[in-house]
Amino acid sequence: MTARTDAPVYRADIYSAAAIRDTHSHYAALRALGPVVWLSKQKVYALPRYAECKAVLLDDRTFISGEGVALNPVANRVGQGTTLFSDGEEHARRRRQVAHRLTPRALRAMTETVEERAAAVVEAAVAGRNVDGVELATALPLSVVPDFVGWPQGGREHLLRWAGAAFDGLGPMNRQAVRSLPASVGMMRYARRVVGDRSVLEGSMGHDLLCAADTGEVMPAECATMLIDYLAPSLDTTISAISSALHLFAIHPDQWRLLKADPSLVPNAVNEVVRYESPIRAFSRTVARDTELAGTTLLKGSRVLVVYGSANRDALQWDDPDTFDIRRDASRQLGFGQGKHGCAGQGLARMETSAMLRALAARVERIEPTGTPEWALNNLIHRYERLPLALIPAWTTSGSPGQTPS
Ligand code: HEM
């Protein structure tokens, strides 16, 4: 694939370790170059601005997912059979299979459990005072999602590593993607065994998939890929959102005070966190027919990269995009994608992140940074690896952590 002369060229590797640690300065440079930028290292067209990202996500006939949304041919082949890597009726059929599990009504039935677990996680963390914000952010998703998907108890200890590897493997075929391959293959093997042994939890989403295979609605081979479809994107993403929220509120105490004073701002805050530090950096699409985007000719077969993390900081779309403000209406952020492939699990992710914020707001007076955070090195996931924090409790008159006495 060669660059069209009408697109500006960016030569830096946005998937290098240095760029992963400093992703926003690369995004700013890309946005300054134009709406469609040729990445000479990956040989794809990056879309760093909001309008083009949104247009591509909404035009799923021209910009297709069926040839994979990764940046390397191995992942684009191995991921065949997933909801993420499919188009048209096949995509709609896969998505329908478990849609009933993720409706607002179905999620409402889980609210109490999720809120209780979030409260327990936060209470334990407040008692310890000094925490790694990433560990704190991991506890709730890890206690909710495997049960929801129906993953058996055995093998849960590998889930985080497997899920992180699944994302890493969707980047370009760099050293990180290569290193992730054994774990990705391990996850797929294990999922096939789970389906073969029918060891999914009774009454779970995975159980629904097995039943659909029994009645011929899905192919038996699809069950394993679809289990991974829901498990792989459901941990690191939410861990990213919760840990970024912890960091952002730690370094913006004024915003924390606003949230504590008015917990009805929680849904806004979730959107603003996902806008400001979008958990998924970018997915790609294949161009299905010759077309034009923002004045750039895109030939059939070329690949475009929808850079959610950059679109969400585009000054053409947002006032003061680099300012974190939970009062802004960030509901149009693209961090959960948009259109037919828009995140199927966003209701659950929003519920978990909101539950954590509410539990924290009720029990924590201040969140204080106690060390330098470190970014995780992952091609796709934008999240901290380490986030040293202190949780300063809000003491009740009875002397236990809770609401600050008025
Ligand atoms: C903060 C948390 C999350 C973020 C930021 C996030 C982000 C995204 C994004 C950007 C996409 C769009 C993919 C595309 O455009 O090709 C997506 C798709 C998807 N997500 Fe999420 N996600 C999150 C949590 C979850 C959870 C908890 C689950 C499962 C319960 C989940 C399951 C899925 C699935 C199955 C798809 C594929 C949808 C399709 O292709 O039709 N996600 N997610």
The pair of structure tokens assigned to 253 is 């105490």
Task: Quote the ligand 1 centre to 345 CA distance (angstroms).
Answer: 6
Mean pLDDT by 10 residues, the chain (406 residues): 72 98 98 98 98 98 98 94 94 93 94 98 96 98 93 89 94 94 90 91 92 88 88 94 98 98 98 98 98 97 98 98 98 98 97 98 98 97 98 71 46
Task: Quote the ligand 1 centre to 27 CA distance (angstroms).
Answer: 22
Supply angle C-alpha 163, 335, 48, rounded to 5.
110
Q: Which residues contact 157 (CB under 8 A, 6 or more apart)?
A: none
**Going edge to edge, which strands form the sheet with 303-306?**
9-10, 37-39, 44-47, 303-306, 283-287, 63-64
Residue-wise pLDDT for 6-65, tens only, equals 899 999 999 999 999 999 999 999 999 999 999 999 999 999 999 999 999 999 999 999
Query: What is the pLDDT, as a whole number, of residue 397?
Result: 46
The pair of structure tokens assigned to 128 is 């310890």
Supply angle C-alpha 7, 280, 86, rounded to 5.
80
For residue 348 and ligand 1, the question of a CB distance below 6 A is answered with yes
Phi, psi of 321 (to 5 degrees): -60, -25
Query: What is the pLDDT, as a whole number, of residue 395?
Result: 73
Q: Closest by alpha carbon to 240, among 388, 135, 382?
A: 382
Q: What's the DSSP call for residue 278?
A: -
Find where tokens 């009062």 sit. 327
Round to whole Å and give the CA distance between 174 and 304.
Answer: 18
Phi, psi of 384 (to 5 degrees): -75, 150
Round to whole Å and give the CA distance between 378 and 192.
Answer: 25
For residue 234 and ligand 1, the question of a CB distance below 6 A is answered with yes
Query: What is the pLDDT, as a whole number, of residue 9?
Result: 97
Burial (Cβ within 10 Å: 0-12, 13-18, ≥19) of residue 50: buried
Query: What is the pLDDT, as a whole number, of residue 2?
Result: 46
Compute CA 18 distance to the chain's CA centroid, rounded to the nearest angstrom. 21
* All domains in the chain, ordered by first residue: 9-393 (1.10.630.10)
Query: What is the pLDDT, as a whole number, of residue 307?
Result: 98
One-letter-per-residue 3-state SS of 322-339: CCCCCCCCCCCCCCCCCH
Strand partners, 386: 374
Task: Quote the ligand 1 centre to 182 CA distance (angstroms).
Answer: 23
Task: Quote the ligand 1 centre to 50 CA distance (angstroms).
Answer: 18
Find where tokens 């409790």 sit. 393
Round to whole Å and give the CA distance between 305 and 34.
Answer: 14
Supply angle C-alpha 329, 331, 334, rounded to 5.
130
Q: Within the chain, how many helices (H) and strands (E) appear?
A: 16, 13
For residue 93 and ligand 1, the question of a CB distance below 6 A is answered with no
Rounded to two decimals, the pTM is: 0.95
Query: What is the pLDDT, as a whole number, of residue 155?
Result: 81
Supply angle C-alpha 321, 374, 165, rounded to 5.
95
Query: What is the pLDDT, as a whole number, of residue 404?
Result: 44
Atom 40 of ligand 1, nearest CA residue: 84
First to last CA, the chain: 64
C-alpha separations of 57 from 69, 147, 300 in Å: 12, 31, 17
CB 94 within 8 A of CB 83: yes
Atom 34 of ligand 1, nearest CA residue: 344
For residue 239 and ligand 1, the question of a CB distance below 6 A is answered with no
Supply angle C-alpha 379, 305, 232, rounded to 5.
45
For residue 309 and ligand 1, the question of a CB distance below 6 A is answered with no
| Ligand 1 mutation pick, 138, 237, 283, 382, max ligand atoms within 8 A of CB | 237
